[in-house]
Structure 1
């Protein structure tokens, strides 16, 4: 029997982990009875009773595994690390809040059996926030135009990945992995299945402006050069215009010495404009440098505090 690994990242999901485990087990017993499975929960230092719920599941069922992180290592490192620990013939990554529909799993497995090594879910609409869905659409279109890699619109990571692609992920030496970009850049030819994203079953979203900005900048600095190119081109144009205006002012002052007051207003406006532009591009350059710094430090993806129901097997840290 082929084995399917389900990876479920968690952070303060005490109301969702038990119902999700039941829904997944029901799905396998009803529609995927020809497959064996494992459920791998990775908890990113929850502050509610999520870990108690997961321990309860692990005691009841040895097919359910758990990894407890020593601290919160962010929304990208934790699920990526858990995928490296899976040992199924295929691995499915899904959220714990039921916004990734369980009923999509049989469709993923069917497409995988037909030969697709990567099968992903692509949102065509969302029952959550229409505004956020619209803003994400604008972001995806923008990053798609700017990136040299064909980025996938409305893709959160929810999908099935063949073990051959998991081996590719293990071979990467990237302490700040961005799964969506890696799938687009290094993944095999994929099958995209559209779905409607439902509302969270319970709890509140953990996304805020900072986490969304962090995701956007990680994608921007990892897969685009357009920010630095704009800085170079804009700086060159501004330099040429400044020299031209300066020469024009000099000539006009020499011709109409007594009648042409140069004034302070144009100088102040120009200085403030150029100063604000410089600060913006220095900040943008800082984002690129921060991304480089995180990769150069070679920190581990996560540090484990505890793992449950795992055999004595080597861990895949993702960083040599």
Structure 2
């Protein structure tokens, strides 16, 4: 019988953790031939999230909890949770119900049919039309310039076979762009579309900085196009500047007494070139920062506490039944 781990990252989700636990338990009660455990990884919540998770874990032996020593961000914490999962497959499911738990059954059926990766994609969302349009434009941009074919409208919600998790473990990226890594691996991906609902309880923990962070991480992790654009733009603007200067020179020679240079073109040109240089310097800094983060090799998170003894040790890879049988035959 196959075992599945559901990993739920959370931060200040006191209004949702009990509901998502009950929903996951209800869904797995109706799925035959699989067992499951539910791993919550809390990013040092400041509300009663951990207290509620502690009560849940005491009542339900299938629930375990990792509590981080501090808030390590929305990129590192979920990845650590995935790497601690012990199932033959791992499902990443957020706590806010914006990823519909009812898709779990569909994911498992596709996985049982042989798909190593099954993900949910959201071509539609019940959110601000402007915000969703910006999000889609970003997905299109990153997909167009990336050196691998990325999945559009994909946030990480999905099911991943154990062999995928072990590959992610070997990659050992200290600040991973998970959505891109899934595509880098190269396995076939089954996509299940859904309409993302509005958040019913609590408020989103994403802000401009977190969204900008993951947007830049997606670009710097999977594309060198911006760096090439900087070189091309420098050459193009240098050529344009030379051409404009030659035109000014010819006009001055032809109309010496009538033609005046004026200060406006100089100021406009100065600010324009300074802005372009600053933009590409910042972009270059993003790449340098990404390299620095990788070289420093800090751990994804530092754990303060683990709750739920049945789920330990999470970090140990699961030996499948067929692998154990093969070892027995070999001996």
TM superposition score category, shorter chain reference: over 0.9
Which residue of 1 is the match for residue 22 of structure 2? 22
Which residue of 1 is the match for residue 326 of structure 2? none
- Give the 5 Å matches for 1:1-320: 1-30=1-30, 32-310=31-309, 313=313, 315=315
Report which stretch shifted further, 248-257 or 3-12: 248-257
What are structure 2's unaligned runs of at least 5 residues?
317-331
Deviation of the 1:73 alpha carbon: 0.7
**Is the contact made by 1:16 and 1:201 (CA closer than 8 Å) also made in structure 2?**
no
Task: Give the 3 Å change call, closer, same or farther, for CA 235–187 of structure 1 in structure 2.
Answer: same
Determine the C-alpha separation between the residues in 1 that align with 2:296 and 2:12. Answer: 29
Q: TM-score, normalised by structure 1?
A: 0.94
**Is the contact made by 1:165 and 1:187 (CA closer than 8 Å) also made in structure 2?**
no
Instruction: Give CA deviations for 1:243-292 in whole Å, capped at 9, x if unaligned.
Output: 22223333443454444333333222211211111111111111221112
Q: TM-score, normalised by structure 2?
A: 0.91
Determine the C-alpha separation between the residues in 2 that align with 1:204 and 1:313. Answer: 33
Determine the C-alpha separation between the residues in 2 that align with 1:11 and 1:87. Answer: 22
Task: Give the count of matched residue pairs.
Answer: 315
**Is the contact made by 1:118 and 1:187 (CA closer than 8 Å) also made in structure 2?**
no
**Is the contact made by 2:86 and 2:314 (CA closer than 8 Å) also made in structure 1?**
no
Determine the C-alpha separation between the residues in 2 that align with 1:112 and 1:156. Answer: 19
Runs of 4+ with deviation above 4 angstroms = none
Deviation of the 1:314 alpha carbon: 7.2
Determine the C-alpha separation between the residues in 2 that align with 1:196 and 1:302. Answer: 32
Instruction: Give CA deviations for 1:204-233 in whole Å, capped at 9, x if unaligned.
Output: 111111111111111011112221111111
Determine the C-alpha separation between the residues in 1 that align with 2:198 and 2:241. Answer: 53
Report the secondary structure of 1:221's partner residue.
helix
Determine the C-alpha separation between the residues in 2 that align with 1:307 and 1:241. Answer: 61
Determine the C-alpha separation between the residues in 1 that align with 2:36 and 2:312. Answer: 19
**Is the contact made by 2:92 and 2:157 (CA closer than 8 Å) also made in structure 1?**
yes
What are structure 1's unaligned runs of at least 5 residues?
none
Determine the C-alpha separation between the residues in 1 that align with 2:313 and 2:124. Answer: 41
**Is the contact made by 1:122 and 1:194 (CA closer than 8 Å) also made in structure 2?**
yes
Deviation of the 1:130 alpha carbon: 3.0
Considering only aligned residues, what root-mean-square deviation do their CA atoms show, in Å?
A: 1.6
Report the secondary structure of 1:15's partner residue.
coil
Task: Give the 3 Å change call, closer, same or farther, for CA 259–150 of structure 1 in structure 2.
Answer: same
Determine the C-alpha separation between the residues in 1 that align with 2:201 and 2:154. Answer: 22
**Is the contact made by 1:108 and 1:120 (CA closer than 8 Å) also made in structure 2?**
yes
Determine the C-alpha separation between the residues in 2 that align with 1:187 and 1:53. Answer: 39
